[in-house]
Structure 1
Amino acid sequence: MSQTTTAPTPAKSASLTRFLPSLSGMGAKLPGMAKSAGITLASMLLFLLVWQLSATYLYNVEAKSRIDRVMTEQGAAEAEKMKACIASGDISCKPNTLPSPSEVVKASSLLLADHRVISADKAAFKAKTAAVNAQRKAQGLDLITYTGRPSFVDQIFTSLKTVAVGFLIALFIAVPIGIIIGLNENLRTAFNWFIQVFKPVSPVVWLLLVFMIVKTLTLGSDSDTSFLISAVSVGLCSMWATLVNTSVGVSSVNQDYLNVAKVLKLGIGKKIFKVILPSAIPLIFTGLRITVSVAWMVLIAIELLAQSPGLGSFVWEEFQNGANDSNAKIIVAMFVIGFIGFLLDRVMYYIQQSVSFEKALA
């Protein structure tokens, strides 16, 4: 039997040709993408190499210092024992200095394994207390909650929740005030000293101020206020970029747009939401991106100082712990903090791109 082939219809051919420009454009971009990926990979390998060499050097310096100290204090025989102990890799005499990349990878695995154990304990506790909690809920009593230590992953989510609340506090304070003072030159002049004085205040000072206020307002309450103190402190520390950028964005709206609003006899509300805010959005979101970055950065310091749950508290506890793997766990936390900060900035960037008519710088 002879086989016949069906020629593509003009409609199908037209639908296929629509994809050809995009494919050819991607093909043109491939060399540049490959070059960028190669440069990035090479820089990462160089970073790991420098890190490994630095860790090895510092390890040897610490090991030599220990051996010399034992030699001075206890003699040659004990010094040889210390040298042999260090060479064996025994934890009891291992130098505690900058961890190598492999030690950090091992520490991250241990933290994940610890999270699985704690999650299993939580699930078992929940199942064990389910019947009792059901009775207590029916009686209007407080439920029995798990009071064990949080895992590293739990502390990540706690920090994300705190920074989210702090960011919302900064947003709801800075944007309305920025709009109000941006609309009036006299108000901008009146508020300028206030912004310039309080903008550079350290997170430590904001934390102490918020602690004093919250402690006074919650006198007689048994509730834990550490989360509220941390969130408010983060919001007050990070709101200034959004406040300044909102004010500048509102005050620099094109006069032609304002004249059109005047001709159309728009009320103040419509004028703000239909004309001013759309024009000021690029600058507002630039401020919000800075606010997110600052909020995440100061959050770690605030958690560390306030001893509230989160990554800052985790870092401080590991530093105080001083175990042989504590330094490696701190480095794991450092990478996690940096990566989350990068993701938060990317999220704000793509939100800005979706709501703004101007292309933002990456």
Structure 2
Amino acid sequence: MGQPPFDAPVASAPKASLAGLGRYLPARSKVRSRFPGVVRTLGISLASMAVFLLLWQLSASYLYGVEAAARIERTVQEQGPEAGAEMEACIASGAVSCKPNTLPFPSEVVHAAGLLLADHRAISSKKAEFGAETAELNAVREEQGLDPIVYTGRPSFVDQIGTSLKTVAVGFLISLLIAVPIGIVIGLNDTLRIAFNWMIQVFKPVSPVVWLLLVFMIVKTLTLGSDSDTSFLISCISVGLCSMWATLVNTSLGVSSVNKDYLNVARVLNLGIGKKIFKVILPSAIPVIFTGMRITVSVAWMVLIAIELLAQSPGLGSFVWEEFQNGGSDSNAKIIVAMFVIGLVGFLLDRIMFWVQQRVSFEKAVG
């Protein structure tokens, strides 16, 4: 076959890829219809944030004034008017040595967040340098079958966030492994549901402190003679036991309330117990089960902070307690930073669970 002439028109690139991409984007009409609502929601949210920051600023300013006046008056009573005047001048200058220790201003919290990020970068740099210095030695130790030398310095704030997330993930997994199977079993049998009801009602409101002490006693006994650090294991198990009850109750409720017509169809099809559970009961009960799982995640993240604080295991709870004990000039601001991080992470965990629920459930849940 002859080649086409040089000046033959060149076919344009196919637009099928762009058309295919458009299938995954929302329709323009739908975007236009939702735009006013989105703008209104965003405006209300920004306005409420501005009001919150204003109230925070005013409250911090008032408390600062109260604390400053009390400190000046105390200095006058103990050391005389001249010392009181010096204290007043020192407070007015903003010196750290005489700064009232009270609710920090929003600007101080933002500054503390910047300090924590800078501290994380410095610690990460030290870790990298340590890893480079010990790389050859660790290679030799690995050939000899010895454990590598690891960095044991102080963890940064970001590192502690990661530790808390790892702890809550393992604790959440423990709660699912306990609650879902038991919930399915007692949901299928009225006698077992009655038999377990008293246990659920008694243990569900138990404080995380009590669960922590119970787990500590058991783990300490089972790990006698071991040199390993069990604080992480104790925290994970305590979180799982504290938070599993919502999933247990909702799984039992969801399984016991499956439409009887579905069960009759399964009986007609002569399905075994395994297929009956995984093909009929669980798909029908998933919306209720996931509601319990979302509550479990929220409870797990909430009790984790208290458990880390009491168990002295690494994480956000330990960070908050150390800053409180430290009593530095910026400790209060760092505690507020941790508070916002805890709230935002808890919100994101709930949104993740909601997204997963939307993907696996045939019923659309309300967020």
TM bracket, shorter-chain basis: over 0.9
Task: State the 1:30 CA deviation.
Answer: 1.4
Sequence identity percentage = 77
Q: Does 1:249 align with 2:251?
A: no
Task: State the 1:22 CA deviation.
Answer: 2.4
Higher alpha-carbon deviation: 246-255 or 130-139: 130-139
CA distance in 2, matches of 1:23, 1:135: 62
- Give 3-state SS (helix, strand or coil) of 1:260's partner: helix
Residue from 139, 144, 151 that aligns with 2:149: 144
Q: Does 1:38 align with 2:38?
A: no
CA distance in 2, matches of 1:217, 1:137: 30
Residue from 160, 185, 188 that aligns with 1:183: 188
Corresponding residue number in structure 2 for 1:3: none
Task: State the 1:238 CA deviation.
Answer: 0.2
CA distance in 1, matches of 2:61, 2:80: 26
Residue by residue over 1:31-73, the C-alpha shift from the partner in whole angstroms, topping out at 9 and shown as x without a partner, is: 1211111110000000000000000000000000000001111
Q: Does 1:156 align with 2:161?
A: yes
Task: State the 1:18 CA deviation.
Answer: 9.2
Task: State the 1:141 CA deviation.
Answer: 1.3
Higher alpha-carbon deviation: 141-150 or 42-51: 141-150
Task: State the 1:133 CA deviation.
Answer: 1.0
CA distance in 2, matches of 1:327, 1:214: 35
Residue by residue over 1:275-295, the C-alpha shift from the partner in whole angstroms, topping out at 9 and shown as x without a partner, is: 000000000000000000000
Task: State the 1:21 CA deviation.
Answer: 9.3
CA distance in 2, matches of 1:281, 1:25: 29
CA distance in 1, matches of 2:24, 2:101: 58
- Give 3-state SS (helix, strand or coil) of 1:109's partner: helix
Residue from 55, 64, 68 that aligns with 2:60: 55
- TM-score normalised according to structure 2 size: 0.93
Corresponding residue number in structure 2 for 1:85: 90
For the aligned residues, what is the CA RMSD? Answer: 1.8
Q: Does 1:206 align with 2:229?
A: no
Residue from 309, 317, 321 that aligns with 1:312: 317
Task: State the 1:25 CA deviation.
Answer: 2.5
Number of aligned residue pairs = 350
CA distance in 2, matches of 1:103, 1:76: 31
Residue by residue over 1:148-173, the C-alpha shift from the partner in whole angstroms, topping out at 9 and shown as x without a partner, is: 00000000000000000000000011
Q: Which amino acid aligns with 2:240?
A: G
Corresponding residue number in structure 2 for 1:229: 234
CA distance in 1, matches of 2:33, 2:141: 67
Residues 1:165 and 1:19: Cα distance change in structure 2 (over 3 Å) = closer
Corresponding residue number in structure 1 for 2:277: 272
CA distance in 2, matches of 1:53, 1:136: 59
- TM-score normalised according to structure 1 size: 0.94
Q: Does 1:121 align with 2:126?
A: yes
Q: Structure 1: 5+ residue runs without aligned partners?
A: 1-10
Residues 1:287 and 1:130: Cα distance change in structure 2 (over 3 Å) = same
Residues 1:94 and 1:351: Cα distance change in structure 2 (over 3 Å) = same
Task: State the 1:361 CA deviation.
Answer: 1.5
- Give 3-state SS (helix, strand or coil) of 2:322's partner: helix
Corresponding residue number in structure 2 for 1:4: none
Residue by residue over 1:177-201, the C-alpha shift from the partner in whole angstroms, topping out at 9 and shown as x without a partner, is: 0000000000000000010000000
Corresponding residue number in structure 2 for 1:71: 76
- Give 3-state SS (helix, strand or coil) of 1:206's partner: helix
